[in-house]
Amino acid sequence: MHSKHQLFQIWLPLHRKLLVLKGMLKGPILKKKQQSNPRSLSSDLAELSQLNREQILDDKKFKIMQLSIEERKIEIIEQESTIKMEKLKAETEWECLNVE
């Protein structure tokens, strides 16, 4: 069975890869610290907790961006529909003028 420190060491690279894949990594999350003293478990847990908070914030930002993109797509589709309707009206009027 892995200790919490070992699990943290396994989890951290996976977490970084996930952030990179999401395009949310702006710089290194953790800087390598000079290890004059071994890191304590409470320090690791505090750091993990901070990473979790940052991840939650990044997820919220990502979802907000996705929502904004979807709203913009809907606006564009609505504009496109309006233009197509106007085109059809103009074509119909043109055909009516040519028939008479």
- Is 32 a domain residue? no
Average pLDDT of the chain, as a whole number: 79
Q: Can you say whether residue 23 is alpha, beta or left, with left for phi > 0 and alpha for psi between -120 and 50 degrees?
A: left
Q: CA–CA separation, 97 vs 90, rounded Å?
A: 11
Residue-wise pLDDT tens digits, 20-41: 666 655 555 555 555 545 568 8
Pair 45, 4: CB distance under 8 Å: yes
- Is 29 a domain residue? no
Amino acid at 85: M
- Is 79 a domain residue? yes
- Is 31 a domain residue? no
Residue 54, pLDDT score: 93
Range of the structural domain that residue 65 is part of:
4-24+38-99
Residue 36, pLDDT score: 46
Q: CA–CA separation, 29 vs 40, rounded Å?
A: 19
Residue-wise pLDDT tens digits, 39-68: 688 888 888 899 999 999 999 999 999 999
pTM of the model as a whole: 0.47
Q: Tell me: pLDDT of 7 over 80.
A: no
Pair 45, 6: CB distance under 8 Å: no
User: Average pLDDT in the 69-87 region?
Assistant: 94
